């Protein structure tokens, strides 16, 4: 990452009538959104469909070299508005949010890990290792969910996917 990016989001309320559709919301939205977002010069970083309290959110997370601004989020919202309505992938009422990946972005997809090989990450483990659950380290390898990381003492350790809770980019040095 070069430079700081702020997390912005644009939200709109959407009401969808009950439908009898099946399928995976995230996969359907990814397939629809990725080429549209790429065509306007941005990268689709992630798609999340979550329930928080009584509300449901479809989150479109975007990125671009140099950082994402509010106008980028607005543009993605505009580009996705009609195609999402036509696809109608969600059976219930939801809120669409478009936001930047920001600093400390979550690494969850294979291409995220590939982009962060030899870069600093924040690794949160399920069970403590060497007395800590959270480690700042360098990602040295990724294979089917298994991470190989280098700690500050130069030691290499591999953690299977079930051993860690989350992995985030450690971009703070880039903005200081």
- Residue identified by tokens 């140099």 is 66
Query: Would the pTM count as exceeding 0.85?
Result: no
What digits encode the pLDDT tens for the residues 25-58?
999 999 999 999 999 999 999 999 999 999 999 9
Q: What is the pLDDT of residue 171?
A: 83
Please, what sign has the CA dihedral across residues 122, 124, 130, 131?
positive
Q: What is the pLDDT of residue 91?
A: 86
% of the chain at pLDDT higher than 90? 76
Total domains in the fold of the chain: 2
Q: Which of 41, 29, 42, 31 is nearest to 97 (CA)?
A: 29
Going by the DSSP 8-state scheme, the letter that residue 18 receives in this structure is: -
Q: Which residue, 100, 118, 135, sits at the end of a domain?
A: 100
- In this structure, are 15 and 96 located in the same domain? yes
**Nearest-10 Cα torsion for 150, 152, 153, 156:** -10
Backbone angles phi, psi at 69, to 5 degrees: -115, 175
Residue 71 lies in a domain: yes
Q: Report, as ranges of residue numbers, the positions in the chain whose pLDDT lies below 70.
A: 1-23, 173-176
- Residue range of the domain that includes 31: 9-100
Q: What is the pLDDT of residue 6?
A: 38
Q: What is the pLDDT of residue 19?
A: 31
Q: What is the pLDDT of residue 103?
A: 85
Residue 136 lies in a domain: yes
Q: Are 43 and 49 in contact (CB under 8 A)?
A: no
CATH number at residue 135: 2.30.30.100
């Amino acid at each position: 990452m070069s430079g700081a990016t702020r997390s912005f989001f644009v939200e709109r309320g959407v009401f969808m009538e009950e439908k009898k559709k099946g399928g995976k919301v995230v996969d359907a939205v990814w397939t629809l959104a990725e080429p549209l977002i790429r065509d306007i010069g941005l990268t689709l970083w992630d798609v999340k469909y979550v329930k928080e309290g009584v509300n449901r959110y479809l989150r479109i997370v975007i990125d671009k070299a140099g950082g994402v601004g509010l106008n980028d989020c607005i543009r993605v919202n505009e580009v996705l508005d009609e195609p999402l309505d036509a696809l109608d992938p969600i059976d219930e009422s939801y809120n669409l949010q478009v936001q930047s990946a920001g600093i400390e972005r979550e690494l969850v997809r294979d291409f995220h890990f590939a982009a962060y090989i030899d870069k600093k990450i924040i690794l949160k483990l399920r069970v403590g290792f060497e007395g800590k659950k959270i480690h700042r380290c360098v990602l040295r390898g990724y294979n089917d969910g298994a991470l190989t990381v280098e700690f500050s003492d130069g030691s290499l350790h591999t953690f299977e996917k079930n051993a860690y809770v989350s992995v985030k980019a450690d971009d703070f040095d880039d903005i200081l």
